[in-house]
Structure 1
Amino acid sequence: MALFDLPAPLFAAIDAGMATVLPGAARLAVWALLAGVGTLLLYRLLSPQQRIGEAKREAREARRALNGFDGEFSDAGPLIKAQFGTAFRHLGLVLIPTLISILPLLALLTWLEGHYAHRLPAAGETPAVQAVPATYQAQWIEGGDVPRVIVRDGDGGGAVAEVAMTAPIPVVEQRHWWNTLIGNPLGYLPEESGARRVTIELPQPRYLPFGPDWMRHWLMVFFPIMLIVSLLTYRWAKIE
């Protein structure tokens, strides 16, 4: 299992519990609320708030002193050095806590994309499937417990890969280095198959009852709510 996929069973269990009482859009709103509050509070817990506050005040004073300087440019060296020094001190204090606090958010976004961006077709609904290179042919096959995608050699050979569609993931590729961070629940195409990529045009759910298609995507529900909640949490928790 890839690094950002480790919390996926927990996310799935929580979402399944919410699904008993909430529709998809409402569940996305809850996830956005948790993400906005949780990320900011985790940052507050991990960061040295008092030292960050002092660094911000020092940076403001350094800027004020430089802006008020009315002498020769050659004499402004210490003030410029102080401004850069305080700015880099502030950056150094917030960088590591910020990077650590967004890791759970990245894991959540990875799971939400795989769970909410697409859905598996209904019975009898056959999506278009395309393989790369174009010398290979891919076909959607129904039957059995789950539908499958079969990749065949276009030169008249047999099947070179088979993918069980156990999750609504629209792309299957050969394994890359970044799959140690973000994995594909459907697995990967074998290197010896020769096929590099298979794209499945899965249907996309619409979570808003209005607006163009791009506006009804899960991101348009999640990110505006998370942004508003994050700003409110920032002010409420007095985060530096």
Structure 2
Amino acid sequence: MSRLGILDWPGIVFGWINELLLFVLPLPVTLIFWAFVSGWATMWVYRAVSNQDKLAALKPQVKVVQNKLRRYDGEFSGLIPLISENFRLSGRHIGLAIGPAIVAGIPVLFVLVWASNEYGTYFPETGAPVNVEVVSDQVERDADNWRWHDTEAKHLPSAVDEPLRWRIGWPEQTARLTTADGQTAVALPPDEPAPILHKRKWWNLLIGNPAGYLAAGNPVESIRMDLPTHDMLPFGPGWARSWLFVYLVVVVIVSLGYKFYWKVH
């Protein structure tokens, strides 16, 4: 069964293009390129599918009503029709804009799904310490019921209702986690750098896990790995250096720029 979800398929093309870009551009600049394309695409789609004539005609009507509300100085009963008209026009504006806005968000959604894998985590160097968390409902919560092979592993304390935790040395080839009876539950590293390996869920029909899935009968429900993440900026707090922050900031700036340039309503 394919690891890809419905939203992952455009990412195949994005990946091909990005491989070419990486020959001449550093990783952070390629992210800015995709954010620029996303911002342009979302505003272009919105302008194409929305009824700009009707939205433009509503704008002066809304201004007239709002000016009347600001200048009104009479009885409250006379204010009600103005408030009602303001709500009616605002509701009509939302009705005209919300559908196109949802459609316009689709290009960003496709890029977000792909970029989370491309710019998110990466495999550490061999021997680097990595914390892992294992969730299992089939094996008693006791670290003695589990064995790590072909890697150094230190059990970390955790509460009764928390996942089992270890700090392992990232393997050069393959490290295995087995149950006490010798059954292999997990083999690391996975095929692709993803922070979690789990059993297939319903939402994987939409968004797949590039690292693959654990078998349905596996005693492990999921294993989460504290893999290192790419820094897109050389400065600022950790959250500001993340790919998601940089991507969204550029998307907003570019889309607003095209909104004013194209005079989109």
Range into which the TM-score falls when normalised by the shorter chain:
0.7 to 0.9
Q: The residue matched to 1:130 in structure 2 has which SS?
A: strand
Q: How does 1:8-19 map to 2 (within 5 A)?
A: 8-19=11-22
Matched residues, percent identical? 32
Residue 82 (structure 2) pairs with residue 79 (structure 1): yes
Question: CA offsets per residue over residues 13-63 of structure 1, 9 Å max, x none?
Answer: 111010010011111111111111111111111111111111232222222
The range that moved more, 63-72 or 34-43, is 63-72
Amino acid at match of 1:152: T
The range that moved more, 124-133 or 191-200, is 124-133
Corresponding residue for 2:240? 215
Q: 1:82 to 1:200 in 2, by over 3 A?
A: same
User: Structure 1: 5+ residue runs without aligned partners?
Assistant: none
Amino acid at match of 2:25: L
Corresponding residue for 2:157? none
CA distance in 1, matches of 2:26, 2:193: 18
Residue 35 (structure 2) pairs with residue 32 (structure 1): yes
Residue 29 (structure 2) pairs with residue 4 (structure 1): no
Question: CA offsets per residue over residues 182-219 of structure 1, 9 Å max, x none?
Answer: 22112222333242221112122223223343332223
More helix by share: 1
Amino acid at match of 1:226: V
Q: How does 1:180-191 map to 2 (within 5 A)?
A: 180-191=205-216
CA distance in 2, matches of 1:177, 1:61: 50
Residue 173 (structure 2) pairs with residue 170 (structure 1): no
Is the contact between residue 117 and residue 205 of structure 1 (CA under 8 Å) also seen in structure 2?
Answer: yes
Residue 223 (structure 2) pairs with residue 198 (structure 1): yes
Is the contact between residue 7 and residue 206 of structure 2 (CA under 8 Å) also seen in structure 1?
Answer: yes
Amino acid at match of 2:21: M
Indicate the RMSD between aligned Cα atoms, in angstroms: 2.4
Amino acid at match of 1:190: A
Question: CA offsets per residue over residues 120-139 of structure 1, 9 Å max, x none?
Answer: 22344453322114557585
User: Structure 2: 5+ residue runs without aligned partners?
Assistant: 149-169
Corresponding residue for 2:178? 152
Amino acid at match of 2:135: V
**When the two structures are superposed, what TM-score results if normalisation uses the length of structure 2?**
0.79
Q: The residue matched to 2:35 in structure 1 has which SS?
A: helix
